[in-house]
Amino acid sequence: MPAPEAAVQYAKEHKNDFLEDLITLLRIPSVSTLPDHQGDMERAAAWISDRLKSMDFDNVRVMPTDRHPVVYGECLKAGKSAPTLLFYGHYDVQPADPLEEWKSDPFDPQIRGDDLFARGASDMKAQVVAHLSAAASMVHTSGLPINVKYMIEGEEEIGSPSLEKFIIANKDLLSCDICLNADCAILAPDTPSITYALRGLAYFEIRIQGPASDLHSGRFGGAIDNPALVLSELIAGMRDENGRITLPGFYDSVRDLSDDERAELSKLPTDDAWWQAQAGVKALHGERGYSAGERASARPTLDVNGLLSGFTGEGSKTVLPAKAMAKISMRLVSDQTPEQVHEGLIQYMKENAPPTITWEVEKLAGAPPAIVERDSVSIRAASKAFESVWGKRPLFTREGGTVPVVGMIQNLMGVDCLMMGFGLPDDNLHAPNEKQHLPNYYRGIETFIRFTHELAV
Amino acid sequence: MPAPEAAVQYAKEHKNDFLEDLITLLRIPSVSTLPDHQGDMERAAAWISDRLKSMDFDNVRVMPTDRHPVVYGECLKAGKSAPTLLFYGHYDVQPADPLEEWKSDPFDPQIRGDDLFARGASDMKAQVVAHLSAAASMVHTSGLPINVKYMIEGEEEIGSPSLEKFIIANKDLLSCDICLNADCAILAPDTPSITYALRGLAYFEIRIQGPASDLHSGRFGGAIDNPALVLSELIAGMRDENGRITLPGFYDSVRDLSDDERAELSKLPTDDAWWQAQAGVKALHGERGYSAGERASARPTLDVNGLLSGFTGEGSKTVLPAKAMAKISMRLVSDQTPEQVHEGLIQYMKENAPPTITWEVEKLAGAPPAIVERDSVSIRAASKAFESVWGKRPLFTREGGTVPVVGMIQNLMGVDCLMMGFGLPDDNLHAPNEKQHLPNYYRGIETFIRFTHELAV
């Protein structure tokens, strides 16, 4: 039996063990944001490091950070000529509340139908244990055909505050040829898919100050400018009648969508009618010349996330407000950077803010976009692995949201970060009754095995 | 001694009595908004009705409303050929807090220098008692040369909720040729002035609904429109680059400022530098072609009073908000009406709101503007009276704010409502250490006497 088949066979024979492993980890309520769960965080980290040790991984460590440790382990027995894969995952989970909306205890995993219900099932303990199970299946049969490192953090659900520092401090230890981030999903149980691009984020607060203090709109209205009106004008000027963002240089670094890529994206089962129904809107809107799906994933955007000025309670108050505030954010696509967009916004404000007000722009968050070329080694390997297991070619998708860790790893380590995981869109992430679809879990283990072997070719 | 001189002489001789009267009324804490002061409200109303009875006024009544009574009294002895003046005033006051900021007890009037400090001193017990004192001075000498009616309400500081109903129900009783509202001020102790116009108000809340619920800006941003951005665009479109309001028909009923009127207004000691300093702004702004003072009083405006959408707390939340809300209000000048402006706004929304959102406009408040022609009988009489007492011609001012009762009386009764009172701009209305400048009070009594006689000519 050729190498992957032996490991696949092993995985099938140990299906129940691998399910038990997942259930064991899910029983540990490793809620990173709640200080009461400090002990659970340590138990979850220990469980993973024990699992790595049981596979004879080397250099297995629970490495402290300012808050929750990172579990590291490596198996470099494939030798220097073989590629090295760094698996990124997280062992922490979201809080479970509101508890009363769960049909079963979030930390007492229960199988109903084909689904395993528990907090952290899909996000992302099933993905972590699936990969550990795939590794074990290879280790216990013909061995790992490539070098594998694990970096499994405990702070993803609180925004990965320690990760950047950790990666910088351990760059040599983590060095690799490719990173695999399993914190993701496929489109449907029978529709395998690969997310090859994520949007980045640049998030700002714009604060406008007009008069020194709130004034009476009867006494002063007309004599002086209105900061809320100025803010509205500035925001309105940020997009044109074609739905394009007018900030200087905004599109300069945007990679165009090729005809080939658009043809690929058009195969997705999410047409404009789907988007309209999902959002519950009367009509769609956006940059002219692109479908809703393209606009929501492969094109950059600008959204107002918040507005606040003056009197917002019930009834009327005739105030001419001193201040007005907007939170605006841009979703970025390769090769835009949060820094470029920040500069463009500042330039826009300098060119357009009237002399009647003062303004400041505060950068609140930023994360670069990420893309892995569809004809790269890792995507081709993933595609073949999916096709072997599912019997059909995966669809290629771009994600409109941002996974900061992906861009962070790409930028800090200079390697592609492949997204490959086996959740589903309806897994109730961060919500009551989170689940993992178990057929996906088992197929995921096999897909990880075949992917690993494809990388070795 | 000709008639007014006898009354003026009487007033001078009874100066101390009239001060005592004012102090007596100021000792009654007639705070209309606080239920605990119900008894004080009744005492204040009784004090005024007693005062009217002491002058042999007829038909003196404390007339109940849903909350606080209106004091009515009349002296129609001048006969049917003489004009009838209706004096409007209020006997209620604002609450006194914050008490710790008062230098003396707000309801234990204290004279410091030329000022009498007490809650309600300037707003408006001094104005009411000044007119009662003027009437008494005439009654006790040569008699009132015209017919006089008093309508003194107890709900002005809570928005006069009963007044419209009261006026409609008592239209015959209140019928008159001219109304005098003494709830106002002059520019400075040595600068008499007459406010001959007030702006009206139309106040709206605009609510925009985009998606059915808040959405994730990463997942949906770009595919659908953003209600806060749409709201910003709609607001931005409401004024043009010349600072003019673009709502359909907005300026159709606006009376132009004549050269003569502009020349008169330019005499006011409030130039653009004054407005800039008062507001504490870097630069003034408004409708092109008008001075700040004109824009703030004689031209209509549109202000954003409040904005609210999405996430407004600290930090960032990547929400694509479902809703956005703005409170906007227009200050109106004659002959605009709140109804016309409402229609214009609705038409604007119909023409400009995109099909991607739904919207609604709620009317929250409305009050018509008011103007008394500068060459009307009442203004000429007031002007002459001021000139006799102060030795100089009064300045003519327009007020940017709205006094709903003035427009209400003009509209319901079809008579001019003259603004004539003797407060000062720095009297700390509605604030700690409210005061009445006593030289104004004594001159005010004399001015009311002379004004009454001018009306009789």
**pLDDT tens across A113-144, in order?**
999 999 999 999 999 999 999 999 999 999 99
From A201, A280, A310, residue closest to B306, measured CB to CB? A310
DSSP string, B293-354: HHHTTTS-EEEEEEEEEE--SSS---EE-SEEEEEEEEEE-TT--HHHHHHHHHHHHHHHS-
As a whole number of angstroms, the distance between CA A121 and CA A118 comes to 5
Give the chain B residue whose CA is nearest to the CA of A287: B222
Q: Give Cα A51 distance to the centre of its chain.
A: 26
A2 exposure class (CB count in 10 Å sphere: 0-12, 13-18, 19+): exposed
Give the chain B residue whose CA is nearest to the CA of A301: B222
> What does the pLDDT average to over A181-207?
95
- Residues in chain A within 8 Å Cβ distance of B199: 218
Token pair 């130039």: residue: B271
Q: Give the per-residue pLDDT at B2.
A: 66
- Residues in chain B within 8 Å Cβ distance of A304: 226, 228-229, 232, 309-310, 321, 324
Side by side, the strands of the sheet bearing B301-310 are A358-367, A200-209, A323-332, A301-310, B301-310, B323-332, B200-209, B358-367
Q: Which residues pair with B112 in a beta bridge?
A: B115
* Nearest residue to A10 (alpha-carbon basis) of A138, A128, A130, A131: A138
Three-point CA angle A262, A265, A271, nearest 5°: 110
B229–A235 CB contact, under 8 Å = yes
Q: Give Cα B427 distance to the centre of its chain.
A: 15
B351, B362 Cβ separation under 8 angstroms: no
Alpha-helix residue ranges (DSSP H) falling in B170-309: 171-174, 217-220, 227-236, 259-265, 272-279, 292-295
From B218, B223, B399, residue closest to A284, measured CB to CB? B223
Q: How far is CA A158 from CA A162, A180, A191, A328, B202, in A?
A: 10, 21, 31, 22, 47
Q: Give the per-residue pLDDT at B281.
A: 94
As a whole number of angstroms, the distance between CA A188 and CA A426 comes to 9
As a whole number of angstroms, the distance between CA B200 and CA B407 comes to 8
The β-bridge relationship of strands B417-419 and B200-209 is unpaired
Q: Min CA distance, B168 vs chain A (Å)?
A: 25
Chain B interface disruption, residue of A203, A318, A430, most B CBs within 10 A = A318
Three-point CA angle A404, A410, A412, nearest 5°: 95
Cis peptide leading into residue B177 (ω within 30°): no
A306–B312 CB contact, under 8 Å = yes
> If you ran DSSP here, which 8-state letter would residue B158 be given?
G
* Nearest residue to A208 (alpha-carbon basis) of B289, B330, B232, B201: B232
As a whole number of angstroms, the distance between CA A422 and CA A124 comes to 9
* Nearest residue to B179 (alpha-carbon basis) of B448, B378, B45, B367: B378
Backbone phi, then psi, for A84, in 5-degree steps? -115, 130
Q: Give the per-residue pLDDT at A78.
A: 96
From B219, B233, B329, residue closest to A217, measured CB to CB? B329
Which residues, given as ranges, of chain B have pLDDT below 70? 1-2
A147, A83 Cβ separation under 8 angstroms: yes
Write the class of the CATH domain B200-254+300-366.
Answer: alpha beta
Check whether A2 has a pLDDT greater than 70.
no
Q: Give the per-residue pLDDT at B406.
A: 93
Chain A interface disruption, residue of B203, B219, B230, B232, most A CBs within 10 A = B232
A311–B327 CB contact, under 8 Å = yes
Give the chain A residue whose CA is nearest to the CA of B233: A236
B281–A356 CB contact, under 8 Å = yes
B169, B305 Cβ separation under 8 angstroms: no
> If you ran DSSP here, which 8-state letter would residue A104 be given?
S
A116, A436 Cβ separation under 8 angstroms: yes
Token pair 């003519």: residue: B396
DSSP string, A68-91: SPEEEEEE-TT-TTS-EEEEEEE-
Q: Where are the domains of chain A?
A: 3-198+369-456, 200-256+295-367
Q: Give the per-residue pLDDT at B50.
A: 98
From A222, A303, A305, residue closest to B400, measured CB to CB? A222
Q: Give Cα A406 distance to the centre of its chain.
A: 7
Q: Min CA distance, B3 vs chain A (Å)?
A: 40
As a whole number of angstroms, the distance between CA A245 and CA A252 comes to 12
As a whole number of angstroms, the distance between CA A265 and CA A292 comes to 11
Cis peptide leading into residue A98 (ω within 30°): yes
As a whole number of angstroms, the distance between CA A435 and CA A423 comes to 9
The confidence band for A97, taking pLDDT boundaries of 50, 70 and 90, is confident
* Nearest residue to A23 (alpha-carbon basis) of A453, A438, A378: A438
Q: Which residues pair with A331 in a beta bridge?
A: A201, A301
Cis peptide leading into residue B124 (ω within 30°): yes
A364–B316 CB contact, under 8 Å = yes
The confidence band for A441, taking pLDDT boundaries of 50, 70 and 90, is very high
Check whether A238 has a pLDDT greater than 90.
yes
From A211, A281, A317, residue closest to B210, measured CB to CB? A281
Token pair 């000044």: residue: B130
Q: What share of chain B is helix, strand, coil (3-state, %, to 5)?
A: 35, 25, 40
B447, B386 Cβ separation under 8 angstroms: yes
Q: How many helices (H) and strands (E) does chain A have?
A: 15, 18
B221–A355 CB contact, under 8 Å = no
Three-point CA angle A351, A353, A356, nearest 5°: 135
Tell me the three state secondary structure of residue A196: strand
**In this predicted model, what pLDDT tens digit does every residue of A278-319 receive, in sequence order?**
999 999 999 999 999 999 999 999 999 999 999 999 988 889
Write the class of the CATH domain A200-256+295-367.
Answer: alpha beta
CATH topology of A3-198+369-456 equal to that of A200-256+295-367? no
Chain B interface disruption, residue of A229, A239, A278, A290, most B CBs within 10 A = A229
Tokens representing B356? 């991607």
Q: Give the per-residue pLDDT at B1.
A: 53
- Residues in chain B within 8 Å Cβ distance of A281: 210-212, 224-225, 356-357
The β-bridge relationship of strands B70-75 and B147-153 is antiparallel
B303–A201 CB contact, under 8 Å = no
How would you label B369-381 residue by residue, b for 16+ Cβ within 10 Å and e otherwise? bbbbebeebbbeb
Give the chain A residue whose CA is nearest to the CA of B324: A307
Q: Min CA distance, A204 vs chain B (Å)?
A: 8
CATH of B3-198+369-456, one of 2.60.40.10, 3.40.630.10, 3.40.50.1100, 3.40.50.10860: 3.40.630.10
As a whole number of angstroms, the distance between CA B370 and CA B335 comes to 8
Say whether the ipTM exceeds 0.95: no
Give the chain B residue whose CA is nearest to the CA of A237: B233
CB atoms inside a 10 Å sphere around CB A346: 16
A148, A22 Cβ separation under 8 angstroms: no
Q: Give the per-residue pLDDT at A269.
A: 87
B324–A303 CB contact, under 8 Å = no
Check whether A3 has a pLDDT greater than 80.
no
Q: How far is CA B314 from CA A358, B177, B222, in A?
A: 21, 59, 25
A292–B224 CB contact, under 8 Å = yes
